[in-house]
Amino acid sequence: MGYKITAEFVSEHNEQYLPVLKREYEGLAEKLINQGISIAEITSKARQFQVAVPTWGVGTGGTRFARFPNPGEPRNIFEKLDDCSVINQLVRSTGKVSPHFPWDKVSDPGELKQHANSLGLGFDTVNSNTFQDQANQEHSYKYGSLSHTSEATRDQAVAHNIECIELGQKLDAAGITVWVGDGSNFPGQQHFQHSLERYLDSMKKIYAALPDDWQMLIEHKMFEPAFYSTVIQDWGTNVLCAMELGEKARSLVDLGHHAPNVNIEMIVARLIQFKKLAGFHFNDSKYGDDDLDSASIHPYQQFLIFNELVDAEYRKQDGFSPTYMLDQSHNVTDPIESLMNSAIEVQRSYVQALLVDREALYAYQESNDALMASNTLKAAFNTDVSSILAMARADNGGAISPIEAFRDSHYRSEAAKARPASGQSGSGIV
Ligand SMILES: [Mn+2]
């Protein structure tokens, strides 16, 4: 068991920020009441907001050129959970962790579940991995996995996914996310239709092994590692496969997995309409699948996505229950700091979207008042909701200033002492 940040430390740390926070919160309360919005209601919703953290996110990321590890990196799933618990302790919106197999595979899943629960954590969807070969693996995934031309390779990939479901059940997870790196690097290399047919055959076998209350989340990605074509390249192919597979299969939206300038919020609206939105991998990007910190580049885009989500919530859209998760690669920052910051930024977009005057917006849409419709969204986006987010954290027992609290706790330097570098890491870029 690693170094702990105590509850007393957090509450003492909060004291220095509390007087200013209270003033800012009261000022915002007055501003919002004039718009007919109760800050208590918004704060209560902010307190309930959750976004899961991926286990691979707490290790330092990298690129295909290099990785520059930080001191005190977690060396196994138990240490990763320790780091995840620090994130949740300070921000209180990341109570679930998404494991990745075989990176996080242990001989006793029961012990793993117990360790997580003792830290106040639970498990989100599990992730399978057929995009790289493991030691002693019989059939290589060099030319694909679930869509491979060889039946034996496909069977091996199917068996791995079914094993992930079984492991996930022991962890009390309720879904499996399937992303494949299958694709091609040359025109003509792969038969488009046949490869998708093989993929679907494999996915049907995995789907058949899904427990009744489980969900299958299909993740698409336009390029990388395949650079000419991928088998599940966009949301269109994704949703077609989800429809073919059945009700429990839905589409996952990773913000970095689209063509540049694609209108992601509109994709989200379409998936909501047809009850096929499984959830999100939040991150941000400038060029491609950059896996940068959420809202570090395009905060308005993230807000517009949440505008669609909150709209569905407001309309009580049938079948709407997406799961939220961060999926980022932290190459130059402390991953714990980045994940805390990003969880707050995702929550910020949610809270800003709650402030949208929906009835006014609908009226502007009906009367074709384009400018005022846009201004209605901008008014919510331009509202500084920082004091709501900080108050929600404090009310939940978290830190008013999580980054400062984390730095003042010396958790990282203590972790560096307790965790000498092992030379291996379970951090990946997916
Ligand atoms: Mn992803």
Residue ranges with CB less than 5 Å from ion ligand 1: 254, 281, 327
For residue 52, report the distance from its CA to the centre of ligand 1, in Å: 12
CA distance linking residue 164 with residue 72, whole number of Å: 28
Confidence at residue 430, expressed as pLDDT on a 0 to 100 scale:
43
Confidence at residue 429, expressed as pLDDT on a 0 to 100 scale:
46
Whether the bond between 102 and the residue before it is cis, its omega within 30 degrees of 0, is yes
For residue 217, report the distance from its CA to the centre of ligand 1, in Å: 11
For residue 192, report the distance from its CA to the centre of ligand 1, in Å: 23
CA distance linking residue 394 with residue 155, whole number of Å: 50
For residue 397, report the distance from its CA to the centre of ligand 1, in Å: 30
For residue 233, report the distance from its CA to the centre of ligand 1, in Å: 13
CA distance linking residue 87 with residue 345, whole number of Å: 14
CA count, 13 A, side-chain hemisphere, 100: 22
For residue 429, report the distance from its CA to the centre of ligand 1, in Å: 8
For residue 258, report the distance from its CA to the centre of ligand 1, in Å: 11
Confidence at residue 423, expressed as pLDDT on a 0 to 100 scale:
58
For residue 236, report the distance from its CA to the centre of ligand 1, in Å: 17
For residue 43, report the distance from its CA to the centre of ligand 1, in Å: 29
CA distance linking residue 97 with residue 118, whole number of Å: 13
For residue 9, report the distance from its CA to the centre of ligand 1, in Å: 34
For residue 383, report the distance from its CA to the centre of ligand 1, in Å: 30
pLDDT (tens, 9 = 90+) of the chain, 430 residues, equals 578 999 999 999 999 999 999 999 999 999 999 999 999 999 999 999 999 999 999 999 999 999 999 999 999 999 999 999 999 999 999 999 999 999 999 999 999 999 999 999 999 999 999 999 999 999 999 999 999 999 999 999 999 999 999 999 999 999 999 999 999 999 999 999 999 999 999 999 999 999 999 999 999 999 999 999 999 999 999 999 999 999 999 999 999 999 999 999 999 999 999 999 999 999 999 999 999 999 999 999 999 999 999 999 999 999 999 999 999 999 999 999 999 999 999 999 999 999 999 999 999 999 999 999 999 999 999 999 999 999 999 999 999 999 999 999 999 999 999 998 765 555 554 4
CA distance linking residue 229 with residue 183, whole number of Å: 5
Q: What is the pTM of this model?
A: 0.97
Give the Å distances, CA to CA, from 30 to 26, 35, 119, 127, 256. Answer: 6, 9, 38, 45, 38
Instruction: Spell out the SS3 assignment of the chain.
Output: CCCCCCHHHHHHHHHCCHHHHHHHHHHHHHHHHCCCCCHHHHHHHHHHCCCEEEHHHHCCCCCCCCCCCCCCCCCCHHHHHHHHHHHHHHHCCCCEEECECCCCCCCCHHHHHHHHHHCCCEECCEECCCCCCCCCCCCCCCCCCCCCCCHHHHHHHHHHHHHHHHHHHHCCCCEEEECCCCEECCCCCCCHHHHHHHHHHHHHHHHHCCCCCCEEEEECCCCCCCCCEECCCCHHHHHHHHHHHCCCEEEEEECCCCCCCCCHHHHHHHHHHCCCEEEEEECECCCCCCCECCCCCCHHHHHHHHHHHHHHHHCCCCCCCCEEEECCCCCCCCHHHHHHHHHHHHHHHHHHHHCCCHHHHHHHHHCCCHHHHHHHHHHHHCCCCHHHHHHHHHHCCCCCCHHHHHHHHCHHHHHHHHCCCCCCCCCCCC
For residue 430, report the distance from its CA to the centre of ligand 1, in Å: 5
Confidence at residue 3, expressed as pLDDT on a 0 to 100 scale:
86
CA distance linking residue 313 with residue 224, whole number of Å: 34
For residue 408, report the distance from its CA to the centre of ligand 1, in Å: 32
Confidence at residue 422, expressed as pLDDT on a 0 to 100 scale:
67
For residue 254, report the distance from its CA to the centre of ligand 1, in Å: 5
